[in-house]
Chain A
Amino acid sequence: MSQLDQLTCQETFRRLDDYVDRELSADEMQQVREHLDRCEWCASEYVFEEHVIQGVRERIRQITIPADLLSRISLALDRETVEPPR
């Protein structure tokens, strides 16, 4: 890759949110990855943002669902008189 293709820190930063979510084009993903490989500062921001998202995900997924929810829905389905068309 030539120097011209290399992203600056600012250009990398602008793409960071989309990069975390893998929402950039394949080319841009590659450009950001290469910048992160050689720039410790941007890399530490990226790792930080990623860890925050993962941490929020882990916590928020610990919701316990009511144990009888599926069976209650199943009972309600029994009461449905109309069979869904095949």
Chain B
Amino acid sequence: MPSSRETFEQLLAAALPSAFGVAIRFVRNRDDAEDLVQEASLRAYRSFHTFTPGTNFRAWLLRILTNLYYQKYRQRQREPQLTELEDAPDLYLYLQTRDAGLHQRSDDPAGLVLERLSMDHIAGAIDALPDDFRMVAALYFIEEFSYEEIAGIVDVPIGTVRSRLHRGRKLLQKSLWQLAVDQGLVAPLTPEAAAP
């Protein structure tokens, strides 16, 4: 029988990339992300006896990490206010790419946008989302958790996860479009070209 320490470290090693990926989107810098992951791991070890073998260790660890983030990191950060945000319309990126003629240029117009964007671009766009949206987005994009699993991790109702995620995705599309245009994807539309 492996010791519980060995079992814990094996599970932790497999979960670490995901935990760090989520942590860095939560705190938005590498140093704090390392501290957050390390402290969450220690807390997880101390309560490892409450973990049910065979259940999702990553979800369990991320719940601990998220609680720690709420307690220690969240208040320290200045957050954009929700009222400052303008919602993006439905299908924002789809319609922008269509109107810019990208649907004629490729069978995969989304790919044309994304190939302009680096990891740093996309990380920056997620990091610009307000806290509540950013946390849900981080868990959603890094992992493939269900809404229910995300709700369990951030401790809000499923309906709230759903609306934050859907709204956050639209806001993200707006940023991605702007970034791709800044990277020279298309010339900005002139008023004449934008007219129907």
Residues of A within 8 A of B (CB): 13, 17-18, 21, 23, 44-45, 47-49, 51-53, 55-57, 59-63, 65-66, 69-70, 72-74, 76-77, 80, 82, 84-86
CA distance A60 to B123 in the complex (A): 6
CA distance A60 to B111 in the complex (A): 15
Would A77 and B42 be within 8 Å (CB), given that A48-B109, A65-B16, A69-B20 are in contact?
Answer: yes
Classify chain B: how many residues form its interface, as a range: 35 or more
Does A76 contact B38, Cβ atoms closer than 8 Å?
A: yes
Does A60 contact B49, Cβ atoms closer than 8 Å?
A: no
28 A-B pairs with CB atoms under 8 Å apart are A17-B165, A21-B165, A48-B97, A48-B110, A49-B91, A51-B114, A55-B113, A56-B114, A57-B142, A59-B114, A59-B118, A59-B119, A59-B122, A60-B21, A60-B123, A60-B141, A65-B21, A69-B34, A70-B16, A72-B38, A73-B12, A73-B37, A73-B38, A82-B46, A84-B8, A84-B46, A84-B49, A86-B4
Give the dominant DSSP class at A's interface.
helix
| Closest residue of B by beta carbon distance from A18 | B162
Does A45 contact B91, Cβ atoms closer than 8 Å?
A: yes
Is the C-beta of B89 less than 8 angstroms from some C-beta in chain A?
no
Would A84 and B45 be within 8 Å (CB), given that A60-B141, A63-B20, A74-B9 are in contact?
Answer: yes
Is the C-beta of B129 less than 8 angstroms from some C-beta in chain A?
no
